[in-house]
Structure 1
């Protein structure tokens, strides 16, 4: 399926970085509990392993818990290789840091960008020791022009090795310091002099290599497939690649990884829940059913007995008996989250659909579910200290004094949805406002609630903002006669300050910085999404157009200047000048975001549907800077990195045209054969475009196999090629 639509979004400017220590994540990190997609795992000792997902993760307890490391949030990591518990390397595929790899020398606490002196894209990595290693990939400015580079000083300097022709290097195996093998599309290369020279290993040019693993200089295995449809296969050699024998029984399914514990015992991991094991150096293979429908991606062993398989959807499967039996770890399944709140730096909570309630005790790096018997939706969440908090929806206010382990319901007597809930500096005093406009207060920390006034709304209360100690605003949700109401005595009396019908067709979401300055967000009758600003308490408003058919859910200002808007499609917008301009930020998710919470101007969190939790320690900004959302015509031609990457089965490809042009956008396989034309020499006006590419039925009605693919944009005299990975 191919769909194309013109979109007006913002893209990140490239920033050329030299070697630098990275001490904080840039942009937004995806901390969604349980269901992250892991693509790599490697053990460095009996308990410690590293993994790649949307970030780089580390476990020190055999995968029972994972810590998100402070590495740059590329959202586009490819391969990792650790030579010991301290020193490790990661390849990155981002445009901003093309030609570089990441290195840590303290177990992932800090990371250095290591430039190679090129702008190449690297997808293969292998180190012989802490100083000597190899990376392989593609010369980014030329399609299918492979490269192998070597370092002998721990990545400080790199030298190109012998030619590998027109093939993208995807995998290395070095059984000793001199002998090495590299898979590159339909070619395999071998070195016997430590990478100085590489020769081609003969095998059918119709065979596309994926994984290569040698247990000695002579004995090795490869996986791959025939593009003509004969499926994936496993081959073995015992004479250094001169001759190959197909392994029967390990075929016709997507094969992902090869690993061996010694020369005799090894495993081949398929992506469809199947694992193959041999105890006689690949002469025979036993099939092990992992009993999972999730995609498995990587396998690693801590020792001869203990191993772990990871994959998509939070998949973690463990063995303690050399792979004879495997047990899947429970996956935390999380419903939609509507609110997130941090009473302190370490302690945080997220609440949502059907009583979903999560807690973190380490600043959001790990989350666990707190069971309860509540089945209503938690649409409000307020904590007055680490343990005492409040939430609720229709039936009343729920209170906990032990961090959500137990909840006591205190009836409000209204049965109406709670729209606003707030506690003052003296936490015994609180106010709630329900959907019908009733205002209730508590003077005993929420143990009882007394109704004492009403907001005179025409239909219902859409949104509430507690602006100052005594000032509260409430917006009406009426289609006609919608108004903004204000109280200057903590809700005892209310008066109308403005009508919205000149701007909004129905009610709006509001947030006030103080008693006079505030913002309102909603849609007009033509479905244009507007953000209004007032500096006189709602008497007059200025308008900012965000776009058309943009569904926004929440607006939150953290100080007089900085504010955030969230919405559908993972949208996050930020202003740093009190709403004069809004900028789009890359969230790394397509899920609806419903709530934000900031501890300060830099550290904040966002929560949304499907259990999505995001964190930033840089105010949401990337190192690269941002464009104004209304700058629809780009300054230069550009072909953006697809997202997500890796993908299965669909991904988005964005490109930019500064002027009208005839456009051709084509996908190729790793051997340079055309797969499909996404745009076939069609005229396009200047602007920003997005194309959906689906691997199903992509090649003349057939599904594509897992592997590396390329997409190339020709627009006038401009031409650019990028790489993407299909991982089933």
Structure 2
């Protein structure tokens, strides 16, 4: 093969107790250097800027893919941040007790935009065209059609006053509530209809949308999927060992689920099955409050900090290029050597046949590819 930049080998180990000479941290979660603000309750991205909302520490900004974080709380009265929404250059944040704040300068300053907002506890935010929806704890749903200049209650048919989560799919607005399950509006919040057929848990904490597939994360019931705009829901929990799903995120056909006490799970087949992806975490029972996917990375907000992992690694993306690398490199195998099969990525400076040998801890060669 000519001009091969990146090669991926799958090596079947003859014994399980083997190790590689060269290792790095690319095949696991890596804790970033912050933010230092308590629970990372929400994450969002605006251009190249990543924002982390914390419970007690306000908002933190990273301009270098999580390499460092800076507090950006100028004008923010409440430091208990629960949700974000981005509409063009406008960044909205929902807080506990302080209502909604808006920044038009990438977090340089924040201004309260609460005219007409009767409830200061804003649990969820979503953007649909020029409309901003705000789900509250105790006041149901509010709508702004003028970038937060004013808010109007839109609760016709919404029987639960606690709106934990929101999702937009075309003209459909989905609201996940406490006790009441899921409500759907097809007329920009003018009216709401309960769409709970097949849903066994009525506490809905998270949504993600992948094409015509709508996934919801519930408390105690795991994950449900609808392929007909909420007409019916089917539990998709094969391999999901923790049913308390706090956050969801999607990258193509890959769905990530952050749980309360079980870390992160990944499905590569639209929820058909799930596998745990906790390599690098302190333990296997992490609480993952929030998830964010950018072009190259996935971020997880936990009780203490933000963690990052490269999408190309966790999804085993094989990028082939006609350019030849300028230097040799060997990446860490994945999964770890105690699995029967592992993947090893390496770069070489010229095309040709390659021999890769694996040695056990005593220095004995155990397999070659």
Deviation at 1:450, TM superposition (A): 2.6
The one of the two structures with greater contact order (alpha-carbon pairs below 8 A, sep at least 6) is 2
Q: Deviation string for 1:260-303 (max 9, x for gaps)?
A: xxxxxxxxxxxxxxxxxxxxxxxxxxxxxxxxxxxxxxxxxxxx
Q: Does 1:31 align with 2:32?
A: yes
> Hey, what does 1:503 align to over in structure 2?
200
Q: Distance in 1 between matches of 2:41 and 2:279?
A: 17
* Structure 1 residues 167-316: aligned runs within 5 Å: none
Residue by residue, what CA displacement relative to the aligned partner does 1:453-510 show, whole Å, maximum 9, x if unpaired?
A: 4452246333222222x211123322xxx4421111222121122246x622x41234
Does 1:535 find its partner at 2:227?
A: yes
**Using the alignment, how far apart are the partners of 2:38 and 2:260 within structure 1?**
16
The alignment status of 1:335 with 2:38, answered yes or no, reads yes
Mapped to 2, the partners of 1:402 and 1:575 lie a distance apart of 36
Distance (whole Å) between structure 2 residues aligned to residue 366 and residue 598 of structure 1: 17
CA contact (8 A) 2:299 2:307 kept: yes
Which residue does the alignment assign to 1:384? 87
Is the aligned partner of 1:358 residue 2:358?
Answer: no
Residue of structure 1 equivalent to 2:113: 410
Q: Who is 2:347 aligned against?
A: none
Q: 2:312 aligns with which of 610, 618, 625?
A: 618
Matched, 1:477 2:178: yes
The structure-2 alpha-carbon separation of the partners of 1:452 and 1:624, relative to structure 1 and needing over 3 Å to count, comes to same
Runs of 4+, deviation exceeding 6 Å: 13-22
1:513, distance to aligned residue in structure 2 (A): 1.9
Aligned match of 1:368: 70
Q: Cα distance 1:550–1:404, how it changes in 2: closer, same or farther (>3 A)?
A: same
Q: How many residues align?
A: 306
Unpaired stretches in structure 1, ≥5 consecutive residues: 1-12, 34-331, 628-633, 637-719, 723-728
Cα distance in 2 between the residues matched to 1:379 and 1:619: 30
CA 1:384–1:25 in structure 2 vs 1: closer, same or farther (change >3 Å)? farther
Trace 1:414-425 onto structure 2 (pairs within 5 A): 414-425=118-129
Contact 1:343 1:383 in 2 (8 A): yes
Kindly state the Cα deviation for residue 398 of structure 1 after the two structures are TM-superposed.
0.5
2:26 and 2:339 map into 1 onto residues whose CA distance is: 28
* 8 A Cα contact 1:471 1:488, kept in partner: yes
Are the equivalent residues in 2 in contact too, given 1:518–1:534 (CA < 8 A)?
A: yes
Equivalent residue number for residue 329 of structure 1: none
User: Residues of 2 paired with 1:437 and 1:415: CA distance?
Assistant: 6
Change (3 A) 1:608 1:475: same
- Asked if the contact 1:476/1:507 (under 8 Å) is kept, the reply is yes
TM-score (norm 1): 0.38
After superposition, the Cα gap between the structure-2 partners of 1:432 and 1:522, relative to the gap in structure 1 and judged at 3 Å, is closer
Matches of 1:406 and 1:370, distance apart in 2: 7
Structure index of larger Rg: 1
- Residue of 274, 277, 298 corresponding to 1:585: 277
From the superposition, tell whether residues 593 and 436 of structure 1 become closer, same or farther in structure 2 (CA, over 3 Å).
same
